[in-house]
Amino acid sequence: MATVNVADLRPVKETELHALKERLARHLPHSLPVSNTDSLTPQQVVYGCVSLAVRYGLHSLQPASILVPAAPRPSSLTIIVPTGGPQCIEVFWSTEEHTPQEMAHYLSCIPHLDWSQPVYILSLLSALLPSLQSQASIGGQQVQVQTTFQGNLYSLQVPATLGKELLPKYQVTSLREEDALQVWTNWEFNDLDSVDNMSNDITRFPSVGIREHNPEDGVSLLEKKTEKTLVSWVHLSKPGWIGNTFTMPQHRRKGLAGVATLTLACKVLQEGLLPFVFIGNHNIASIKFHEALGFKRQCEAYTVKVVPAEATD
C-alpha cells in the first residue's frame, strides 16, 4: 500500500479544483455524463460537491469548505465540512493511498468538530466502511461507528419522457430565496441542515418550483395578475445531488414531482453535471418513482454516526 506523509488539513484553492476533480475521477471515472448507459459504476457524493465548486466557484459552497491534506504529495482524500448542521461531514479517500491510522489523524484535524459528541458522515461508500469501522479512536476520543441510514445512489443519463402535461393552472419556475423556509420545513431530514444553508443552495444552484395560479373569485387569468403558490419542488444541494423532492398533499398524483425532477435533471445535464439522488433502501416509493424517470442504481452508500465508545443509543 502506498502511503503519504501525514500532515494537517487545509482548504483547497480555487486553482486546485480541476486537478482534485481529476484525481477523484481516477477512482470514480463514472462520475461524468457518458453516452454508454450500460456501464455505470458507483457515483460518489464528494465528487459531486467538487464538481459544483468547479462549475460555480468555491464561494458557492459557503459556509461549507473543501479540505485536503497539507502534505506536498497530492492524494484523493477530500473532506467536505460542514455540509449542513454542526457535526456533519462528507469524506472520500482511497484505501490504497491512506492507512486507517492516517485517516484517524486526518479526521481528528477537521476544524470545529468535537469527537466527544456524535459526528455524522453522510453518504459514505460501502467500500470505505470497513476502514472507518476499524478506527478505535479519533482526536484522542475512543469511538465506535454506527450505521444509521443505508441506501443507494442512482444516476440519470437519459431522461424519460412523461406521458402527460401539467394542467394550465400550474407553472414551472425556479425556487426563490423566500421559498427556503417552506422547503426546509417540509424536508424529512431538516435536522441535518439549516434554513440559511437551504437558502444558499436555492439561490446558488439550479432548482425547480411548480406554482399554482390562484385567481380571485370571478376573475379570469387573463383579466388580472394572479397569486402563485408554491406546491411542488426539487433542488440541487451542496453534495451535488438532486433532493428535497416534495409536493403538497392536496396536489399529489398530478405528475408535478415527475415534471419538476426531470426539468431539474435536464438543467443539471446542460450544466455538464450528472444528475443523481441518494435514496434509502426502505423508501420503495421513491425508488420506483426515480426508476420510472430513468434513474439507474449505481452503488450502496451509508450515513454513519461516529459516537464516543461509552455512548449508548
Distance of CA 105 to the CA centre of its chain: 25
Confidence of residue 214 (pLDDT cuts 50, 70, 90): confident
Q: What is the pLDDT of residues 159-177, one digit of tens each?
A: 777 766 788 999 999 999 9
Q: If we measure between CA atoms, which residue out of 262, 230, 229 comes closest to residue 246?
A: 230
Average pLDDT in the 123-151 region?
90
The predicted pLDDT at position 32 comes to 45
The predicted pLDDT at position 60 comes to 92
The predicted pLDDT at position 54 comes to 94
Confidence of residue 3 (pLDDT cuts 50, 70, 90): very low
The predicted pLDDT at position 28 comes to 66
The predicted pLDDT at position 222 comes to 52
Provide the residue ranges of all domains of the chain, joining segments of one domain with +. Answer: 10-29+41-153+300-308, 170-217+225-273
The predicted pLDDT at position 310 comes to 77
* Higher pLDDT pick, 280 / 85: 280
The predicted pLDDT at position 231 comes to 97
Q: What is the pLDDT of residues 31-69, one digit of tens each?
A: 444 444 333 344 468 888 999 999 999 999 988 899 999
Q: What is the pLDDT of residues 65-94, one digit of tens each?
A: 999 999 888 899 999 987 666 788 999 999
The predicted pLDDT at position 40 comes to 37
The predicted pLDDT at position 37 comes to 39
* Higher pLDDT pick, 32 / 299: 299
Q: If we measure between CA atoms, which residue out of 187, 152, 176, 181 comes closest to residue 297?
A: 152
- Residue 219: C-alpha distances to residues 168, 169, 171, 222 (Å): 16, 14, 18, 8
**Are 10-29+41-153+300-308 and 170-217+225-273 the same fold in CATH?**
yes
Mean pLDDT of the chain: 85
The predicted pLDDT at position 226 comes to 56
The predicted pLDDT at position 63 comes to 85
How would you label 218-244 residue by residue, b for 16+ Cβ within 10 Å and e otherwise?
eeeeeeeebebebbbbbbbbbbbbbbb
Positions of E strands within 72-206: 78-81, 88-92, 119-125, 137-138, 141-155, 170-173
CB 210 within 8 A of CB 256: yes
Confidence of residue 259 (pLDDT cuts 50, 70, 90): very high
Q: How many CB atoms lie within 10 A of CB 214?
A: 10
Q: Supply the pTM of this predicted model.
A: 0.83
The predicted pLDDT at position 283 comes to 93
Distance, in Å, from the CA atom of 242 to the CA atom of 48, rounded to the nearest integer, reads 10
CB 146 within 8 A of CB 285: no
Matching CATH number, 10-29+41-153+300-308, of 3.90.1580.10, 1.25.40.10, 3.40.630.30, 3.30.450.20: 3.40.630.30
Q: 3-state DSSP call for residue 247?
A: strand
The predicted pLDDT at position 45 comes to 80
Architecture of domain 170-217+225-273 in this structure: 3-Layer(aba) Sandwich (3.40)
